[in-house]
Amino acid sequence: MNLSLLFVTGFTLGITGAMIPGPLALFTASETLKTNKFAGFKVMLGHIVLEALAIALLLLGFRSLLTNDIFLNSISKIGGSALIFMGGLLFLKVKTMKISEIKSDSNYDKNLIFGGFFFSLISPGFMIWWATIGLSSILKSLIFGISGLLAIMLGHWLADLVWYGLLSYMVDKGKMFLSDKSYQNVIRFFSFMLVMLGASFLAGFWR
């Protein structure tokens, strides 16, 4: 296996993982509705930071932490509560939201980056993926040293950027066909989905 194949492997693993629906995809879509087509890229910055930390933990020998039931259950409960709170807050604010008032600023960009970090962290499958498939991929790539690790991770992160960039682009283009009322109804749908997803976390359906 050469570096090019490692890059392709990283891209393939990344795109298949990115396509799985979850809190990060919901967050990206709902924030794109409130901002613009670049939201997905900003969300991915936070996601990539968390993945870099996960890699560091695995290399330092903390695999057992990432699969510890108490740790994972705590993350799931905290994440579920946060999703319900965010969905409820979004639902309460929806009447004041209009397509003509969509805008983005530097402070909101920071919120998107933090959201990418947070909503990746609370995803039940994130830690398990990195403690299993992720660890296996890293160990194989390290046969080629740091260059191997960089090759597989650059492929993985490119896949994340492509998929979530595409998701944001498609959601943003869809806004052109929405009136303020239909726009608010779409936001209500996403707020409902966030609450339902949060409730499923608290109920333990994802464990």
- Determine, yes or no, domain membership for 39: yes
Which domain, by its residues, includes 110? 3-202
pTM of the complete model: 0.77
- Determine, yes or no, domain membership for 207: no
Percent of the chain whose predicted confidence (pLDDT) is above 90: 20
- Determine, yes or no, domain membership for 65: yes
Query: What tokens appear for 26 in the block?
Result: 């919901």
Contact indicator for 133, 63 with CB cutoff of 8 Å:
no
Gap between the Cα atoms of 190 and 94, Å rounded: 11
- What average pLDDT does range 82-111 have in this prediction? 72
- Determine, yes or no, domain membership for 118: yes
- What average pLDDT does range 161-176 have in this prediction? 89
DSSP class of 130:
I
Residue 48 neighbours by CB under 8 Å, 6+ apart: 116, 157, 160
Nearest to 58 by CA among 145, 148, 133, 159: 133
How far is CA 8 from each of CA 1, 20, 133, 152, 184, rounded to the nearest angstrom? 11, 19, 15, 7, 40
**Residue 122 — very low, low, confident or very high, per pLDDT cuts 50/70/90?**
confident
- Determine, yes or no, domain membership for 188: yes
104 vs 81 pLDDT, higher one: 81
- Determine, yes or no, domain membership for 75: yes
Q: Residue written as tokens 């039940």?
A: 124
- Determine, yes or no, domain membership for 74: yes
- What average pLDDT does range 131-142 have in this prediction? 80
DSSP class of 2:
-
Helix (H) or strand (E) holding 204: none
Average pLDDT in the chain: 82
Structural domains counted in the chain: 1
Longest dimension (CA), the chain: 56
| pLDDT for the residue numbered 158 | 95
